[in-house]
Amino acid sequence: MIPTLEWTPEGVRFLDQTKLPLEETYVLATDYQQVAIVIRDMIVRGAMAIGVSAAMGVALGIDRSTATTIPELTTEVDEVCRTLAETRPTAVNLFWGIAQVRNLYTSLAARDTPIPEIKAQCIALAQQLYDEDIANLKILGANGAALLPDEATVLTHCNAGALAACGYGSALGVIRAAVEAGKKIDVFADETRPFNQGARLTAWELVHDGIPTTLICDNMAGYFMSKGRIQAVIVGADRIAANGDAANKIGTYSVAILAKEHGVPFYVAAPFNTIDPDTAHGDMIPIEQRAATEVTHFQGKQVTPDGVRIENPAFDVTPAKYIAGIITERGVLRAPYTESIAAAAQL
Ligand code: MRU
């Protein structure tokens, strides 16, 4: 299993994804402020991974506190949660992870639970969320694997793999499950400019697992679809609105339109906590704008002229009408998504 992140007695240990695939190094966050930096700087990234990282960050903040009274600790917990919530805006899993530990803290504090007991329970919950993430993705993977033909080439964008989660992955979890079921799956991975999650991370992860993988530049997807070389597209999501509109890595929307034009099914694979019932439709999803240097620089070297204006939105929204199915651990949801999402929420 790829060790994306791990709770240790010393702190939370992260595989440094900014260094992959050239270096496999680890960063140890020994306090919650360091966890916030690790998330903000994308040492850990991917919606599910940052959700559990944020939960571990809150647990770490509580564990490291020297507060001796509940009111004192509550003030600190507010600050911990605020700091972690400000790291990245788009993936709803981040806010979900914070809320999970905070809600437990609030209920324990309301019952005047001794502080050492609060600490132990918050750490245990963060570790439980880690285990549940992997368990849910294995079920999701099996649900999605059934959708793929016995022989297929599947295009994916960005990295929705073990590295974007505690393990296994969502889009890549479906691919892993199909391969485990004996299907012959080839993967086409978009490089995913500007951060190159496809080129650096998806390619690394799939080669590591021995799954046949071809890396293509983002602007090649239409060519391969027009030649009949792609049988399905599967991507992850950072936030799915209540009507099924799905935010994912910038460029996903273009792939979805290409898929529609070429009659290729376009699936979104995401655990149910990526669905945000408080976001009615995709226009309401906050889109992170990242540093211009991600576009202007390559491996630390400027490759663009001085003075050119830069835009760098990190995500886009694919309208629900382009999505053939949303693959979750609660089943494969189909249009109309407002109804299927609401029904799955009752399960
Ligand atoms: O900016 P990133 O690398 O965190 O973006 C990640 C993605 O867009 C993934 O496709 C998404 O999180 C789904 S996989 C959990």
**34 annotated ligand-binding residue:** no
CA of 145 to the centre of ligand 1 (A): 20
Pocket flag, ligand 1, residue 51 (CB < 6 Å): no
Average pLDDT over residues 185-201: 98
What one-letter code names the amino acid at 99? A
The class that CATH gives domain 5-138 is mainly alpha
For the domain covering 142-345, report its CATH number: 3.40.50.10470
**Atom 14 in ligand 1: residue holding the nearest Cα:** 160
Question: Strand, coil or helix: what is 27?
Answer: strand
Pocket flag, ligand 1, residue 93 (CB < 6 Å): no
Evaluate whether 153 touches 188 at the Cβ level (below 8 Å): yes
Q: In the structure, what pLDDT confidence band is assigned to residue 229 with cuts at 50, 70 and 90? A: very high
Average pLDDT over residues 273-285: 98
pLDDT tens readout for residues 200-220: 999 999 999 999 999 999 999
pLDDT at 2 over 90: no
Rg (CA), the chain: 20
> For the chain, what percent of residues have pLDDT higher than 90?
99
pLDDT of 137:
98
**164 annotated ligand-binding residue:** no
CA of 136 to the centre of ligand 1 (A): 17
CA distance 263 to 39: 37
**100 annotated ligand-binding residue:** no
**Atom 5 in ligand 1: residue holding the nearest Cα:** 46
Q: In the structure, what pLDDT confidence band is assigned to residue 49 with cuts at 50, 70 and 90? A: very high
Q: In the structure, what pLDDT confidence band is assigned to residue 1 with cuts at 50, 70 and 90? A: confident
Output DSSP code: residue 181: T
Pocket flag, ligand 1, residue 158 (CB < 6 Å): yes
**ipTM for the complex?**
0.98
Residue 235 structure tokens: 């991507």
Helical H segments across the chain, by residue range: 32-40, 47-64, 70-85, 92-110, 115-145, 171-180, 203-208, 221-226, 252-262, 293-296, 337-345
Query: pTM for the whole thing?
Result: 0.97
Evaluate whether 220 touches 314 at the Cβ level (below 8 Å): no
CA distance 218 to 101: 38
**Residue 10, number of CB atoms within 10 A of its CB:** 9
> CA–CA distance from 37 to each of 28, 45, 53, 86, 88 (Å)?
11, 12, 11, 10, 10
Q: Is 216 exposed, middle or buried (0-12, 13-18, 19+ CB in 10 A)?
A: middle
pLDDT tens readout for residues 64-77: 999 999 999 999 99
Q: At what angle do helices 32-40 and 47-64 cross, to 10 degrees?
A: 160
CA distance 175 to 168: 10
Average pLDDT over residues 42-46: 98
> Which residue ranges does the chain devote to CATH 3.40.50.10470?
142-345
**Among candidate residues 57, 119, 115, 64, the one with its CA nearest the CA of residue 85:** 57
Question: Strand, coil or helix: what is 148?
Answer: coil
| Residue 238: active-site member | yes
**47 annotated ligand-binding residue:** yes
Of 63, 133, 190, 238, which is the active-site residue?
238
> Which residue ranges does the chain devote to CATH 1.20.120.420?
5-138
CA of 272 to the centre of ligand 1 (A): 15
Name the residue of 5, 15, 39, 45 whose CB sits within 8 Å of the most ligand 1 atoms, as the mutation to test its pocket. 45
pLDDT of 209:
96
pLDDT of 251:
98
Q: In the structure, what pLDDT confidence band is assigned to residue 99 with cuts at 50, 70 and 90? A: very high
pLDDT at 299 over 90: no
CA distance 197 to 189: 10
pLDDT of 162:
98
DSSP calls for 219-250: GGHHHHHHTT--SEEEE--SEEETTS-EEEET
CA distance 199 to 275: 27
